[in-house]
Amino acid sequence: MLVYPTQKMVFIPSFRYNGVHHYILGGNLKDCHANYLYFCSMLEDKKQDRVSLETLGEFGLINHLTEHFSLQHKSSVKGIGDDAAVIMHSQKTIVTTDLLIEGVHFDLSYMPLKHLGYKAVMVNLSDVYAMNATATQITVSIAVSNRFPLEALEELYSGISLACEKYKVDLVGGDTTSSQKGMLISITAIGEADEKEITYRTGAKPNDLLVVSGDLGGAYMGLQVLEREKEVFNVNPNSQPDLEHYTYIVERQLKPEARKDIPELLKAIAVKPTAMIDISDGLSSEILHLCKNSVVGCNLFEDKLPLDPTVISACEEFNLDSTLVALSGGEDYELLFTIDQKDFDHIKGNPHLTVIGHMTDASMGAHLVTRGDTKIPLTAQGWNSFNSR
Ligand code: ADP
Ligand code: MG
């Protein structure tokens, strides 16, 4: 099971910059600011002119939230509306679940519900893609206290809907109930794959190459920027920070995208990874999972770590070591996999993929080989919901 990162998502009133930024779901920064204020007023509305969930009742609510979702997959035989969904895959079925709890995994004073809905789906789809599978359906279960009006759940479902459309997955069911305090969301993602295509964490062999998609550390640095801006805002509510220089990293934090394209790409070039995992907790922690499950060691090369220039400049600004950020920053949702050396020619030069190391015999251990050619043992410093608070 994937542990959802616990750092606070910062989504703050200081987003009062007027430029148009595509990382805001379905709008620009002005909308985003409005969205934030809207949500705050929603929760603090003394006049009670929001629609309370009680007025609709459970069935009215489910119907209202889900009526715009339609089924796109043939395998979705029956979706919402019966005691259970019916799914008919022609291949192996892949299932993964995450449970997200307000105050533990997300903080609504910073995070707009639309983003939360989108990100909650991404986190699950990322696990399906890490099995080298196609995601086809999701179920969404929520528990909310009476502090949430209908409008809040509409926001959450608009993010879920956007994710379903973009990633072509069907919402086929869920559960809706009340909680005494706060919001809980549990999403289950379902997918399919030919057994021959499924990539477990167990298949890496000594001498396999270690490959990562995209680049690393962006989501963590985006969080640093957002937290700093929040501090600035707390001191001076009239401050007008310019986030223009940080667009990429802020986007990585607020609107992560699961790497649906990578299993597709690998299929197209006829490369089957020997093992694969998604990067939710941080590169070093995921490498250690692969090593443990496959019973191998690893040499990871510092000079190969893919870093976006904005991550490097933000690290300089925040006086953080970019290698440490790449190794330990969570929430990048990239895919990390191993391939046989004979497949190197197929992935060589691909702009989405970087070879960052190779696997060794288990007895050699897992190490970072620094630019100065020193070997440092890798430790898991990724996010852990039990020790990071
Ligand atoms: P049951 O009482 O059998 O659990 P429910 O009344 O909870 O049924 O749900 C009715 C239908 O609505 C089912 O198809 C269920 O999967 C779906 N559903 C319930 N809650 C949600 C939700 N939050 N999101 C999506 N579908 C939901
Ligand atoms: Mg139910």
Give residue 89 CA to ligand 1 midpoint distance, Å. 22
- CA 52 centroid distance within chain: 30
Give residue 48 CA to ligand 2 midpoint distance, Å. 28
Task: Please check the confidence at residue 386 and state whether its pLDDT lies above 80.
Answer: no
Token pair 């006086």 is found at 319
Residues 19-51 as b/e (b if ≥16 CB within 10 A, e otherwise) read eebebbbeebbbbbbebbebbeebeeeeeeeeb
Contacts of 384 (CB under 8 A, 6+ apart): 3, 6, 281
For residues 268 and 133, the answer to whether their CB atoms sit within 8 Å is no
Looking from the CA of residue 58, the nearest atom of ligand 1 is 6
Over range 317-337, report the average pLDDT: 95
Superfamily of domain 50-194 in the CATH hierarchy = PurM-like, N-terminal domain (3.30.1330.10)
Domain boundaries, the chain: 50-194, 209-377
Q: How many helices (H) and strands (E) does the chain have?
A: 11, 13
For residues 247 and 314, the answer to whether their CB atoms sit within 8 Å is no
Mean model confidence pLDDT for the chain: 86
Give residue 59 CA to ligand 2 midpoint distance, Å. 10
pLDDT of residue 43: 54
Q: Report pLDDT digits (tens) over 166-216.
A: 999 999 999 999 999 999 999 999 999 999 999 999 999 999 999 999 999
Q: Is the CB of 83 under 6 A from ligand 1?
A: yes
119 burial level (CB within 10 Å; 0-12, 13-18, 19+): buried
pLDDT of residue 363: 97
Q: What type of residue is 367?
A: H
Give DSSP secondary structure letters for 318-363. Answer: HT--HHHHHHH------EEEEE-GGGHHHHTT-TTEEEEEEEE-GG
Give residue 53 CA to ligand 1 midpoint distance, Å. 15
The mean-pLDDT minimum among 101-105, 338-342, 378-382 falls in 378-382
Strand order in the sheet with 209-213: 275-278, 335-339, 209-213, 353-360, 297-301, 366-369, 375-377
pLDDT of residue 195: 96
Rounded to 5, what percent of the chain is helix, strand, coil?
40, 20, 40
d(C-alpha 118, C-alpha 167), whole Å: 11
Q: Report pLDDT digits (tens) over 110-137.
A: 678 998 999 999 999 999 999 999 999 9
For residues 135 and 202, the answer to whether their CB atoms sit within 8 Å is no
Categorize the per-residue pLDDT at 243 as very low, low, confident or very high, splitting at 50, 70 and 90.
confident
Ligand nearest to the Cα of 80, by number:
1
107, β-bridge pairs: none
- Residue with CA at minimum distance from ligand 1 atom 10: 81
For residues 338 and 359, the answer to whether their CB atoms sit within 8 Å is yes
Give residue 303 CA to ligand 2 midpoint distance, Å. 51
Ligand nearest to the Cα of 61, by number:
1
Pocket-testing residue among 62, 67, 121, 161, ligand 1, by greatest number of atoms within 8 A of Cβ: 62
CA geometry: angle at 51 spanning 166 and 144, to 5°?
Answer: 65
Looking from the CA of residue 80, the nearest atom of ligand 1 is 14
pLDDT of residue 233: 72
For residues 190 and 84, the answer to whether their CB atoms sit within 8 Å is no
pLDDT of residue 30: 38
89 burial level (CB within 10 Å; 0-12, 13-18, 19+): middle
d(C-alpha 362, C-alpha 54), whole Å: 58
Q: Quote the pTM value.
A: 0.88
Q: Is the CB of 336 under 6 A from ligand 1?
A: no
Q: Is the CB of 165 under 6 A from ligand 1?
A: no
Pocket-testing residue among 176, 183, 184, ligand 1, by greatest number of atoms within 8 A of Cβ: 176
For residues 35 and 116, the answer to whether their CB atoms sit within 8 Å is no
Give residue 92 CA to ligand 1 midpoint distance, Å. 25
Q: Report pLDDT digits (tens) over 58-68.
A: 889 999 999 99
d(C-alpha 330, C-alpha 253), whole Å: 10
87, β-bridge pairs: 76
Superfamily of domain 209-377 in the CATH hierarchy = PurM-like C-terminal domain (3.90.650.10)
Task: Please check the confidence at residue 1 and state whether its pLDDT lies above 70.
Answer: no
pLDDT of residue 241: 60
Give residue 169 CA to ligand 1 midpoint distance, Å. 17
Over range 301-312, report the average pLDDT: 97
d(C-alpha 43, C-alpha 146), whole Å: 10
Give residue 257 CA to ligand 1 midpoint distance, Å. 27
Pocket-testing residue among 160, 175, 183, ligand 1, by greatest number of atoms within 8 A of Cβ: 175
Q: Please, which contacts does 344-349 make with residues 24 or more away whose CB atoms are closer than 8 Å?
A: 344/209, 346/269, 346/270, 346/271, 347/211, 347/269, 347/271
Q: What type of residue is 185?
A: I
Tokens of 297: 């060691």
Q: Is the CB of 353 under 6 A from ligand 1?
A: no
